[in-house]
Structure 1
């Protein structure tokens, strides 16, 4: 059913408007101007005509085919619009209207009513409080954003924020790359981020998935789904709401819960999702992942016409875990024959400011031929004797025939614009400074390592007690930390040994248990209200006698009671 959202036979727009100042007009205009090949139907109680097409007063009057609806009417009228769609046999709907959970309890109740109606008709929903979706290759545009839309490309974008979608569409056009599919999720009353990952990844024109996330609705399902997708195509995520102020903003925006950052880091690592720190970094990486082959190792050669940028690149590469490739004697001999005597033949290779387009191209070819070089960064400040455009034209054929990734750091602005246009047209990733280029090469290496893990067989120890593990997790609370005894039992079910431990509820018990376990021992406070015991001084180490154990018990109970008086202390 989800494929209907991306390949509908007919789209019905509820709330289409003849007033160019209304969002309902923008939605109708975009759908028609996108060149969507299916049937387009407009619905408004006033009837009439819009963009040369009839406007039907009700959904019931809309002719076939009609299998997806886009609803852009005031929030109080959305439930009856969904009812009408359900009775008409429409089973896929996008609720673009706002005024639901993000506004408070009344809006949340309205959203719940919409979901109940959708389930009664076996209908799936995107939204509410979203801008819709688009597919640049079908093509299909159900957004109400101002034209022009994004150019067709190979990067998909799934976002909790409609405003971020709008900015990315415009920014992508200016950065010279296109989008394949875009989905604005909004409040996710029904379909969540995990539901859309695979349908978007199944698009053969999508090479990279990018995600703007304010939270994750079902962590375990997201990890399972994202892992399946990431083993086929790169997934890059920007997770916001990392700090308290951001988490409050997230809650007021879509009503989402941001969750623990440590949990998100662990979930992304397990799923093979590449976590970006900024929006710019996410799309820097996406271009490299979409346009470059993956490297066979961490060794990078740097080719430049100036020493300073080369040193900057070397620092950035090493900080990101990459290495400057050791150049072979054969490589240095070939460079020596090509470049002036004063040129530096060690990595970074500094050809000097007089380097010609031909020297750039031939030096790049020599570096790519070195077996110890896994990828190359070309640094190009405006050359004093030639144009940056001429250099770009010279190196593009070398890059396009290479089996190793090459990224270009084009340093400057006005004097490099011709080179920018040439490289973007050739699908060669270019960045303004070496640090961004280094980051792109690092993510290519990280992706290569991650793919190797995908291809490795999953090993399951024979002594795993899966039933016991499932039972422990099923009985655990869905939110928060596992109690220590449950965590220890869970590790034991997987055959992982843990130190022996018991809960002491008095100084006498602490001394007795310590003696049974064997010295030295550690004492740790037991409280369901304190996740990090060390933060409240709730741990004592190197206890070496029963007397120390008894005294340590009293010390911990008194100390933690002072520092966390509201916490329940169980031992």
Structure 2
């Protein structure tokens, strides 16, 4: 729904427990005991209709009898009474409830046929916008305010990690594990069924929560993919966000029309969605625990190079092997660092990473070696491994290292091998906030999680170049699809698929379809031998399985023989198949080309996805595929290619030149564009797509369509909204003809030039401070926007001095960032300093306000410094109400309609 009223969930002033009890073992008794023992400072009101006292405190028989309106209600009653309680609470003024009750999927006896208690509960909450966590959840903990509104067996320590899980069992396990390691949390949330408050709402809330430094999710399923992706992308930009996704099996794999449909199982798609959002996925509960330990203790490193410090060669080698297996980077120590280590280590140390300081190492040797590694330029983090010896107590070593660990500017991970003999060393490090692991392999895995997060975060900051693909022939594609639908043909072979691909600029091999032998011979003579012959049948999706492909046919005789043999094989193997004729193609003479697959399919949760991998007839067996959510640009396409094994071959091998990776990336971008613009297209296979140094060529393709309900938006099925080209406008101005359009990632370089053209005074007016350059984070934030939640219109014109590579320069920008509800928006407008006073600011603001009105935004607000008199005047003429605060800052507000309650 939104983040509205979630403050009553996470920071209530008072709490009522409906169904509080003294009955041992009951949920109501456990919740009341946890809540009463948590140290919550506000009023706590037990509600029990049978007993006057609960837990030694006066109880009330009903919500109406309470001495005040609870800001948060915790409902522990049987499911049948929940809808009525929610209505009563909402009418009284309560705006948040945690529903622990299970069984709300049961039929509602008072509702229409098919209605459930869950639906009745949501209907009861809707008029009051009362937010519901659950039902069927363990509850909610906010340790910083002493709120334990749960039936978990233990409490949580205060901290700065947020944990959200769909599994109640995992909530209790993590609580127990974290308490033993003194790891604290800003909140612990059991999502339960997520009927109202869901992952998207919580990500939005926690991303803006100043008390949360990192977010951890345990997800079993996701609903409302676009909302989830918008919230996840925003959260991941703000702070580290980690996910463990249960259910890694290919539950969506099926006997599909296309290879792509069979290959793109749901887990691949979840992985792509998590990666695209900039979050980090961990594979197991154990890895999630490691991630909790890491995020609670250290910040992501600046790089990927790990130095290993150990008192035993074996554990050091084990750590190095684990690092290599994980694709990690071992630090290479330079001559200067080696010389300094020589001065403090025994002569027999191996002078390499791992740094083996020998088993008899006293505490001082540990301290000196660690200090030198942390001071050297070669490593970004250090893993310290200690195997206990009888020479020096492990606790003595830990105590000597703690001052150094507390001041370290780089992450230090500790692995204290053993049991009771290293228990005190472990305790000292844990209490000092140092991440501790049981084995070298676990420590390396924890470090690689930090590295992977850093990579994902860096990917969010990458700006694609200004190159833009030519516009597709949308009319030709639309005509082909309409003709297929009109004829009732939902599955298309080579001719239909290649017609769409050609319309979108994908290079295809010329193909002719013919009905019979005579037509095949005539087509082959027109094309020129040698040719390829393929069977044409809607009932044979994979031609090679029935011998329906013949290659390198050099003349009429060879073609005639192939026709006879092909028809005989098909009749024998698929006697019921409808034969519609053949296709004849020129042979593609590209012996150095790799066979790839590019495809498109529609995931039931995240909508269209683009698949890439190794192609050919054994595509399923190669298991070398990756998927990505459209829309794509060249950077995202390159990242998709890089996640496959075949990517190494595409770089060139055994004297073969590298393939044209730009041409390959462009195919992926074009297929992503097809997913966005052709809503009827539900499956597409290009297999094989040949790729070599000369470019790419689609040899074989097929597609499947599904009718779209009348009135449905073409982009409705997409988890990420693509660039809204329909919002582009041409405008006449005092500066000549301009294009007013949404900003896009490819505008990054033009935006840098635009910022550099602003005077320091104008930068101060816009940023409320001074800065000389945009940081990569700011540039990404300004140009890589989420069109579902924000808009930035730029005014552009052809370059006057040839400074911009794409032929257009940015003259001004007006942007609005909407809240997750889409009710309120915050605006800002900036015009290039040398163009002020020419009406450009008004032009941009009028376009922005029109957009907000069309979106149904209720209120648009902004702020301007006292000296920004031009903005004051413009806002007044555009219908903004102006209010000058005590600080002199002018608040500007334009109301389009009354906000939702």
TM range (shorter): 0.7 to 0.9
Q: 1:112 and 1:85 mapped to 2: Cα distance?
A: 17
1:90 corresponds to: 94
| Alignment counterpart, residue 218 of structure 2, candidates 212, 217, 228 | 212
Cα offset, 1:381, TM superposition: 1.1
Provide the residue aligned with 1:374 in structure 2: 380
C-alpha spacing 1:159/1:508, structure 2 compared with 1 (3 Å): farther
How many angstroms apart in 1 are the aligned matches of 2:207 and 2:535?
47
Structure 2 residue aligned with 1:24: 28
Task: Indicate how the Cα distance of structure 1 residues 117 and 389 shifts in structure 2: closer, same or farther if over 3 A, else same.
Answer: same
Q: Deviations over 1:310-334 (max 9, x none)?
A: 1101100111111221111111111
Match of 2:206 among 200, 206, 209: 200
For residues 555 and 284 of structure 1, the distance between their equivalents in structure 2, rounded to whole angstroms, comes to 57
Gap change, CA 1:498 and 1:550, over 3 Å in 2 = farther
Distance 1:241 1:378, change over 3 A: same
Would the aligned equivalents of 2:547 and 2:569 in 1 still touch at CA under 8 Å? Answer: no
Match of 1:395 in 2: 401
Q: In the alignment, which residue of structure 2 is the partner of 1:142?
A: 149
3-state SS in 2 of match to 1:317 = helix
Aligned match of 2:439 in 419, 433, 439?
Answer: 433
Following the alignment from structure 1 to structure 2, what is the Cα–Cα distance between the partners of residues 220 and 487? 28
Q: Give the structure 2 partner of residue 256 of structure 1.
A: none
User: 1:162-311 alignment to 2 at 5 Å?
Assistant: 162-243=168-249, 260-311=266-317
Q: In proportion to residue count, which structure has more strand?
A: 2
| Aligned partners of 1:68 and 1:90 also within 8 Å | yes
Asked whether 1:497 is paired with 2:506, we answer yes
Alpha-carbon spacing, 1:70–1:526, altered in 2? closer, same or farther (3 Å): farther
Whether contact under 8 Å (2:512, 2:523) holds in the other structure is no
For residue 242 of structure 1, give the secondary structure of its aligned residue in structure 2: coil
Q: TM-score with structure 1 length normalisation?
A: 0.83
Mapped contact 1:102–1:187 kept (Cα < 8 A): no
Give the Cα separation in 1 of the matches to 2:25 and 2:387. 46
Could you say what secondary structure the match of 2:123 adopts? Answer: helix
Residue 133 in 1 paired to residue 140 in 2?
A: yes
Matches within 5 A, 1:292-331: 292-331=298-337
Which structure dedicates a bigger proportion of its chain to helix? 1
C-alpha RMSD of matched pairs (Å): 4.1
Q: Note if contact 1:510-1:550 (Cα within 8 Å) is conserved in structure 2.
A: no
Residue number in structure 1 paired with 2:161:
155
Question: Does the 8 Å contact 1:17/1:24 carry over to 2?
Answer: yes
Determine helix, strand or coil for the equivalent of 2:270: helix
- Given the superposition, is the C-alpha separation of residues 104 and 89 from structure 1 closer, same or farther in structure 2, using an over 3 Å criterion? closer
Corresponding residue for residue 101 of structure 1: 105
Asked whether 1:115 is paired with 2:122, we answer yes
The question of 1:385 aligning with 2:400 is answered: no
**C-alpha distance in 2 between matches for 1:561 and 1:190:** 54
* 1: CA distance, partners of 2:96 / 2:268: 36
Task: State the alpha-carbon separation in 1 of the partners of residues 418 and 191 from structure 2.
Answer: 37
Q: Once the 2 structures are TM-superposed, how far is the Cα of residue 353 of structure 1 from its aligned partner?
A: 0.6
> TM-score with structure 2 length normalisation?
0.54
Higher mean C-alpha deviation, range 23-32 or range 483-492: 483-492
Pair 1:45–1:558, CA change in 2 (3 A): farther
Is the aligned partner of 1:37 residue 2:41?
Answer: yes
1:524–1:538 CA contact under 8 A, matched in 2: no
1:504/1:73 CA distance change after superposition, 3 Å? farther
Q: Tell me, yes or no, if the aligned pair for 2:251 and 2:266 is still in contact at 8 Å.
A: no
Secondary structure, in 3 states, of the residue corresponding to 1:125?
strand
- Post-superposition offset of 1:221: 2.5
Q: CA 1:554–1:72 in structure 2 vs 1: closer, same or farther (change >3 Å)?
A: farther
Q: Cα gap change, 1:378/1:25 in structure 2, threshold over 3 Å: closer, same or farther?
A: same
- How many corresponding residue pairs? 543
Q: Which runs of 5+ in 2 are unaligned?
A: 254-264, 483-489, 554-558, 578-701, 705-901
Deviations 1:376-406 (A, max 9, x none): 1111111331111111122222222222211
Q: In the aligned structure 1, how far is the partner of 2:314 from the partner of 2:56?
A: 61
> Relative to structure 2, which stretch is displaced further, 498-507 or 150-159?
498-507
Instruction: Name the structure 2 match of 1:49.
Output: 53
CA drift at 1:527: 7.3
Change (3 A) 1:468 1:112: farther
Cα gap change, 1:58 to 1:489, in 2 (>3 Å): farther
Task: Note the C-alpha offset of 1:103.
Answer: 11
Contact 2:69 2:94 in 1 (8 A): no
Q: 1:37 to 1:355 in 2, by over 3 A?
A: same
Distance 1:558-1:445 versus aligned 2 partners, 3 A rule? farther
Question: Does 2:335 correspond to 1:358?
Answer: no
Report SS of the residue matched to 2:25. Answer: coil
2:452 is aligned with 1:446: yes
8 Å contact from structure 2 (residues 531, 551) kept in 1: yes
1:496 offset after TM fit, Å? 6.3
**CA distance 1:559–1:415, shift in 2 (3 Å):** farther
Write the distance in 2 (CA, Å) between the matches of 1:513 and 1:55: 93
What CA distance in whole angstroms lies between the structure 1 residues aligned with 2:141 and 2:17? Answer: 15
From the superposition, tell whether residues 389 and 192 of structure 1 become closer, same or farther in structure 2 (CA, over 3 Å). same
Question: Structure 2: how far apart are the matches of 1:554 and 1:350?
Answer: 71
Once the two structures are superposed, the pairs formed by residues 55-70 of structure 1 within 5 Å of their partners are 55-70=59-74
- Indicate the larger mover: 503-512 or 388-397: 503-512
1:522 and 1:395 map into 2 onto residues whose CA distance is 73
Deviations 1:122-167 (A, max 9, x none): 22221111011111112311101233x1212222111111121111
Q: Provide the secondary structure at the position in 2 that maps to 1:263.
A: helix
Greater CA deviation, 103-112 or 436-445?
A: 103-112
Tell me by how many angstroms 1:178 deviates.
Answer: 2.0
Greater Rg over alpha carbons, structure: 2
Report deviation, 1:484.
Answer: 7.8
Q: Would the aligned equivalents of 1:23 and 1:144 in 2 still touch at CA under 8 Å?
A: yes
Give SS of 1:137's match. Answer: helix
| Residues 46, 57 of structure 1: 8 Å contact kept | yes
Query: Alpha-carbon deviation of 1:186?
Result: 0.8
Whole-Å separation in 2 of the counterparts to 1:550 and 1:83: 75
Looking at structure 2, the residues matched to 406 and 444 of structure 1 have their Cα atoms a distance apart, in angstroms, of: 12
Check conservation: 1:502, 1:513, Cα contact below 8 A.
Answer: no
Q: Say which SS state the counterpart of residue 352 (structure 2) adopts.
A: coil
Distance 1:421 1:4, change over 3 A: same
* Rounded Cα–Cα distance in structure 1 between residues aligned with 2:61 and 2:512: 70
Contact 1:284–1:436 at 8 Å: present in 2 too? yes
